[in-house]
Structure formats: structure tokens, C-alpha cells
Amino acid sequence: MSAEHGDRTTLLCVPFAGAGASFFHPWRALSADRWRVVAVELPGKERRILETPYRNVVEAAKNEVDDIVAALGEGARTVLFGHSLGAVLAYELAHLLSTRGVHVERLVVSGSPGPWTQRERRATGLPDDEFLARVEEFAGFRHEALDHPEMRELILPVLQADCEMHENYVPSTDEPVSVPICSLRGSSDGLVTAEEAQQWRDATTSEFSYAEFPGDHMYLVDLGREVLDVIAAESARGR
């Protein structure tokens, strides 16, 4: 680790379906120097827009882990955060990083049932308009860019790949992780019940905690600071 990173823990953020790394850029200021905030950049989005997006979570984690380890730096202390699709991708990364000499202090999953629960209602395979309507219903909001034909042409294939990746996810192993897991949920999330969000208890051999925020599936769009406060409190409790 270079001196500029000092003793700060890195908060590694994994984007949800349709989102890029830039979603988490405001968290750098919000984190107020508590962490070094790094976001995973996936193919098909933002700076990697010309690359082919993944359609498989396990493959994505395996292929990206070397670059992630390089970005974290050797001996890095890391807290992993992922929302929805990002939660299961972060879970796969937690398994892999533990074998790469990266010290994962905690896995914070958001808006997600436990990793063994398959998504019942699906968008994958639907015609474009139905697909978008279903995704909108899932997420509880519509991306304005989808109303512009040329933007829609760029975004739609990536969104379809992300949804397929999420809806077909099967964990690479039945072994739980050994790091503490904290599961977060919007209190009026229509996609993930409180019971499902607490299934993550079975995904760790370490401690488990659970917290809810006011809002629906996409509560974190408006509550970045509050989410970071909970992660900070969890981390302090664990030390």
C-alpha cells in the first residue's frame, strides 16, 4: 500500500444492475475520509463501454479479481459493499479475495435475498419493452436515458446482461464466508422481504447483523450518508 492510502480501510463498492462505478463517486466525499472508496468497473459500462458485458456472476468475479486486487494494493484492509446484483457479486469476491491475501473485514450486502435464493419473478428473455417495464417495476424507478433512442440502444444490452447475470446466479460454493456479514434493506422494498434479507445469516460462519432504512429497493440513491454511517458503526463494533 502506498503512503497516500495510509492506514485507511478501502470500501470496495460493487454496482447494481444498470449502474456503473460512477454511482459511488459521491460516496468519496460522503465518507469524509473514513475510507478510501473504490468502485468496481465492469465491462459494458462507462470507461469500459466497448467491452462485452458479463452474463455470469461467478465468471465476472473470477475474471475481475486480479484487477481488483491490484487496485486494492497488497495487504489491503477492505470492506465490501454491494447492492442487489452487486451483493451477490461482492459475495463471490469475498470468497476469492480471502485466498488472495486481501483482508476482508466485513461484507455489507444490500437489497438482496441470501445467495441461495433464486429470483422468482424474472425479466430475462422478455421482449425489449416488456423487459424494461419489468425492470422498472423491480427497481421502482425509470432511467431517463431509456427515453432517448440512441442512449437506449447503448444501455439496453448491458441492462439485459446484468439482469440475466443476476437472475441466473448460483453460488460457486455452498461454503459460507468467514467474514462478518451485515445485510441492509429498504423498509418498503417490494422485491426483497425482511426475512429474505436475513437469509444472509447462513452465508457466514462469523457474526451477522441487519439494518433497515426508510425507502424502497433503491433507498440507497438518497441515503448514501446514512448507509456509510451504518457501515462505520458496524466496523467500529467489530474492532
The pLDDT tens digits along the chain (239 residues) read 333 445 689 999 999 988 899 999 999 999 988 899 999 999 998 999 889 999 999 999 999 999 999 999 877 899 999 999 999 999 999 999 988 889 999 999 999 999 999 877 788 899 888 888 888 877 666 677 778 888 888 888 888 999 999 999 999 999 999 999 999 999 999 889 999 999 999 999 999 999 999 999 999 999 999 999 999 998 887 66
Is 203 within the bounds of a domain? yes
Global pTM?
0.92
Of the candidates 9, 35, 13, the residue with the CA atom closest to the CA atom of residue 22: 13
Q: Which one-letter DSSP state was computed for residue 221?
A: G
CA 166 from centroid of its chain's CA atoms: 11
Give the Cα separation of 93 and 38 in Å (integer).
Answer: 14
Question: Which CATH number belongs to the domain containing residue 78 in this structure?
Answer: 3.40.50.1820
Based on the structure, what is the number of domains in the chain? 1
* Distance of alpha carbon 198 from alpha carbon 106, whole angstroms: 16
- Note whether residue 217 is domain-resident: yes
**Residue 35 per-residue DSSP state:** E
Domain assignment present for 237? no
Structural domain boundaries, residue 186: 3-232
